[in-house]
């Protein structure tokens, strides 16, 4: 009898196998029980009959769901069975009889499910989302590998703040006082381009944002890219090529999973270059025509983004925000210094911002002035300013949020299901 994975059943039809896993579901009668069985690679149906199994059948007949077990039996193709295969059991060993599983068939509220995330994570829907996440991250890495980028792992403890100083998590760091959990790897990527040209990072980032929305986490994963000699225009071309690649490859690999999440695939198929481009000022015009009283200089809110994405069938860049609205490092538009060379990329169907990117200020004096104007302490930026002293070049980059992108690809309402253990204002357990 050969041990095998359910995933490999097509190679084992008619053969005797051993599988190890968990009972996802059970239906029993006097002489036969049907178990939905899961081994981490897939699911199948196990047919357990009293006459074959003998004494243990009494226990199998009422085995609690989520019990762990080892099943021996013959693989049979059966299109009507969950997973398309049955195992006609010749023997079953119970590894551990489960206590009554807290997550049942009845509807549970999100708080209950999140408090039981360690158990919820084994449900079929959640494992499907995790498999899509795995594919997405793999295609992200493949894109950069195939396009000549070098991975740079940027630090998590930092003393140089890259984004909004009002949402930093601070950590006591030995005798050095406060350090902060990184909000972005960007500044460190900027240091790496002078040696490596094209670089990227992919890791957790932290924002102490008091926003209780469907798209905010306090700990999220971001992939960031930085390219020497790229300007704003090339930066957008890189982003549309990258986003199209990761969406199309994830879709091709995980079509069955996305369908099982009831994702409509048609809008995703349209995600190919070129994406739409509108300016910040055009976005304000659109919003005002729809009755908004948004003022010049305000950042777009989630609702504003939703309105705009619904007008386009593909992702849309909003370019050239006011200088005052965005981070200190963005390059001013030469003939219109009240604007910066930047863009947010909004995903369609109401999803909104998935990328923030910009061309960076490469002039020492202009950058120093911007640091001062933003009430940041220049002493903390000594190393970052050095980059503008020793062979400064035009350069640009962007950061894409993995969870927001995954929630868009999977068609989920909330980012909390896209990360194994979500961290939000009111949740740091389990
Ligand atoms: O727009 P952001 O703040 O850009 C940066 O951090 C730049 N330094 C990136 C760069 O140019 N290298 O964040 C980038 C993306 C957002 O578009 C969004 O997808 C995601 O990170 N993001 C969040 N995702 C979940 N929860 C949050 N609180 C997020 N904040 C940003
Ligand atoms: Mg942003």
Give the atom of ligand 1 at the shortest distance from the alpha carbon of 222.
Answer: 21
d(CA 71, CA 74): 10
Does 161 sit in the ligand 1 pocket, CB within 6 Å?
no
How far apart are the CA of 334 and the centre of ligand 1, in A?
Answer: 26
What per-residue confidence (pLDDT) applies to 106? 83
Does 416 sit in the ligand 1 pocket, CB within 6 Å?
no
Does 42 sit in the ligand 1 pocket, CB within 6 Å?
no
The torsion angle over the Cα atoms of residues 356, 362, 365 and 371, rounded to 10 degrees, is 20
What per-residue confidence (pLDDT) applies to 357? 98
Q: H helices then E strands: how many in the chain?
A: 14, 19
Helices (H), 321-401: 364-373, 382-386
Domain boundaries, the chain: 2-96, 117-418
- Out of 404, 406, 423, mutate this one to test ligand 1's pocket (max ligand atoms within 8 Å of CB): namely 404
What per-residue confidence (pLDDT) applies to 185? 98
d(CA 368, CA 380): 12
Does 21 sit in the ligand 1 pocket, CB within 6 Å?
no
How far apart are the CA of 420 and the centre of ligand 2, in A?
Answer: 23
What per-residue confidence (pLDDT) applies to 320? 98
What per-residue confidence (pLDDT) applies to 105? 73
The fourth-level CATH superfamily of domain 117-418 is Bira Bifunctional Protein; Domain 2 (3.30.930.10)
d(CA 265, CA 275): 18
d(CA 196, CA 192): 6
Does 182 sit in the ligand 1 pocket, CB within 6 Å?
no
Nearest CA to ligand 1 atom 24: 401
Nearest CA to ligand 1 atom 31: 401
Assigned architecture for domain 2-96: Beta Barrel (2.40)
How far apart are the CA of 7 and the centre of ligand 2, in A?
Answer: 40
* Nearest listed ligand to the Cα of residue 357: 1
* Nearest listed ligand to the Cα of residue 205: 1
8 Å CB contact between 167 and 191? no
Task: For the chain, 430 residues long, give each residue's pLDDT as a single digit of tens.
Answer: 899 999 999 999 999 999 999 999 999 988 999 999 999 999 999 999 999 999 999 999 999 999 999 999 999 999 999 999 999 999 999 999 999 999 987 889 999 999 999 999 999 999 999 999 999 999 999 999 999 999 999 999 999 999 998 899 999 999 999 999 999 999 999 999 999 999 999 999 999 998 889 999 999 999 999 999 999 999 999 999 999 999 999 999 999 999 999 999 999 999 999 999 999 999 999 999 999 999 999 999 999 999 999 999 999 999 999 999 999 999 999 999 999 999 999 999 999 999 999 999 999 999 999 999 999 999 999 999 999 999 999 999 999 999 999 999 999 999 999 999 999 999 999 9
Residue 110, C-beta contacts closer than 8 angstroms, at least 6 positions apart: 414, 416
8 Å CB contact between 226 and 397? yes
What per-residue confidence (pLDDT) applies to 271? 98
Nearest CA to ligand 1 atom 11: 398
* Nearest listed ligand to the Cα of residue 215: 1
Does 353 sit in the ligand 1 pocket, CB within 6 Å?
yes
């Amino acid at each position: 009898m050969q041990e095998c994975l359910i995933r490999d059943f097509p190679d084992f039809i008619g053969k005797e196998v051993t599988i190890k896993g968990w009972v996802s579901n059970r239906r029993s009668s006097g002489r036969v029980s049907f178990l939905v069985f899961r081994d981490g690679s897939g699911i199948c149906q196990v047919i357990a009959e009293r006459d074959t199994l003998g004494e243990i059948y009494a226990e199998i007949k009422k085995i609690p769901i989520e019990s762990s077990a080892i099943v021996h039996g013959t693989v049979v193709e059966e299109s009507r069975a969950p997973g398309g295969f049955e195992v006609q059991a010749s023997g079953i060993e119970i590894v551990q009889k489960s206590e009554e599983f807290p997550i049942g068939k009845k509807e549970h509220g999100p708080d209950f499910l999140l408090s039981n995330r360690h158990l919820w994570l084994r449900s079929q829907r959640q494992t499907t989302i995790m498999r899509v996440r795995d594919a997405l991250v793999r295609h992200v890495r493949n894109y950069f590998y195939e396009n000549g980028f070098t991975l740079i792992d940027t630090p998590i403890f930092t003393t140089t703040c890259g984004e909004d100083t009002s949402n930093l998590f601070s950590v006591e760091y030995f005798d050095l006082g406060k350090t902060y959990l990184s909000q972005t790897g960007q500044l460190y990527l900027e240091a790496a381009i002078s040696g490596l040209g094209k670089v990227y990072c992919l890791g957790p980032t932290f924002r102490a944002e008091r926003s209780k929305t469907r798209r905010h986490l306090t700990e999220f994963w971001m992939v960031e890219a930085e390219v020497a000699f790229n300007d704003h225009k090339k930066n957008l071309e890189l982003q549309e090529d990258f986003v199209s690649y990761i969406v199309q490859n994830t879709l091709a690999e995980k079509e069955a999973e996305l369908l099982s999440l009831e994702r409509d695939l048609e809008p995703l198929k349209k995600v190919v270059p070129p994406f739409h481009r509108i300016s910040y000022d055009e976005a304000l015009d659109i919003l005002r025509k729809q009755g908004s009283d948004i003022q010049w200089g305000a950042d777009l809110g989630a609702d504003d983004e939703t309105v705009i994405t619904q007008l386009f069938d593909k992702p849309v860049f909003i370019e050239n925000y006011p200088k005052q609205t965005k981070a200190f490092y963005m390059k001013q538009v030469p003939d219109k210094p009240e604007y910066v060379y930047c863009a947010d990329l909004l995903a369609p169907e109401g999803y909104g911002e998935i990328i923030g990117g910009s061309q960076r200020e490469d002039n020492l004096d202009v950058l120093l002035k911007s640091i001062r104007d933003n009430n940041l302490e220049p002493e903390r930026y000594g190393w970052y300013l050095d980059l503008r002293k020793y062979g400064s070049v035009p350069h640009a980059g962007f950061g894409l949020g993995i969870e927001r992108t995954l929630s868009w690809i999977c068609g989920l309402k909330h980012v909390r299901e896209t990360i194994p253990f979500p961290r939000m204002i009111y949740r740091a357990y389990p």
